[in-house]
């Protein structure tokens, strides 16, 4: 549907102005704006393009310098950390692991996905209020504690026992909820 729909989309007004086709750009803008607004916006686009041409071509190396370079590096590191958090282990291998210690794999998957879903809502509200950095720090701490506790319980209680002090489902839920709340 998307590919077919693309054939009916007009060209971008900015692209048209860059190619020297200002009248066509104005026609496209007129489909969305009043004549005055369209003319004003087309002129603004033209002025911006002229100003950027006077400044010269932007080099890719500028993307990796100064503050911009630090932000690019931060983005790359955060993406790597999100993959290394271990969420895939819970989502893909969790049912098999929990089934091997006596839990119903379908129940685990249901609970795991429900916790993941619910924990995403506080993240939406807290991201702007508390800040993304604080959210990530606290959820990373929660994931670290929950994973450490799960590892300890797995080491101490390889065979499921009724006397386990903590239910592995609870520990997995804490890890999943912390990941969803702060890391995405």
Q: Which pLDDT tens digit goes with each residue over 113-164?
A: 898 899 888 888 888 888 888 888 888 888 888 888 877 877 776 555 554 5
Write out pLDDT tens, residues 171-181.
Answer: 566 666 656 65
Structure tokens at 116: 């993941």
The pLDDT of residue 36 is above 90: yes
Q: Quick one: average pLDDT of 89-115?
A: 83
How distant, in Å, are the alpha carbons of 87, 99, 105, 153, 172 from that of 93? 10, 10, 10, 17, 12
Contact residues for 108 (Cβ-Cβ < 8 A; gap 6+)? 94, 95, 98, 99, 169, 172
DSSP conformation letters of 12-43: PHHHHHHTT-HHHHHHHHHTTS-HHHHHHHHH
pLDDT of 168 over the 80 cut = no
**Higher model confidence: residue 164 or residue 4?**
4
Q: What was the pLDDT predicted at 109?
A: 86
Q: Which residue has the higher pLDDT, 27 or 119?
A: 27
Compare 44 and 178 and report the one with higher pLDDT. 44
| Residue range 100-115: mean pLDDT, rounded | 85
**Alpha carbon distance 133, 126 (integer Å):** 11
- What does the pLDDT read at residue 23? 94
pLDDT of residue 82: 81
Helix 35-55 and helix 22-30, axial crossing angle in degrees, nearest 10: 140
The mean-pLDDT minimum among 14-23, 55-64, 75-84, 175-184 falls in 175-184
Alpha-carbon gap, residue 159 to 174, rounded angstroms: 22
């Amino acid at each position: 549907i998307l590919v077919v729909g693309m054939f009916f989309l007009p060209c971008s007004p900015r692209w048209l102005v860059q190619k020297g086709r200002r009248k066509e750009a104005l026609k496209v803008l007129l489909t969305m704006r009043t004549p005055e607004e369209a003319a004003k916006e087309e002129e603004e686009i033209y002025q911006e393009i002229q100003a950027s041409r006077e400044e010269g071509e932007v080099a890719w190396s500028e993307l990796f310098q100064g503050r911009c370079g630090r932000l690019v590096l931060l983005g790359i590191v955060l993406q790597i950390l999100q993959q290394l958090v271990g969420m895939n282990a819970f989502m893909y291998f969790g049912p098999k692991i929990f089934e091997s210690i006596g839990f119903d794999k379908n129940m685990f998957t249901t609970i795991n996905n429900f916790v993941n879903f619910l924990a995403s809502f506080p993240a939406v509200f807290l991201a702007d209020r508390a800040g993304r950095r604080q959210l990530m720090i606290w959820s990373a701490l929660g994931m670290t504690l929950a994973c450490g506790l799960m590892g300890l319980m797995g080491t101490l209680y390889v065979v499921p026992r009724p006397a386990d002090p903590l239910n592995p489902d609870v520990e997995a839920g804490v890890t999943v909820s912390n990941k969803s709340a702060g890391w995405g």
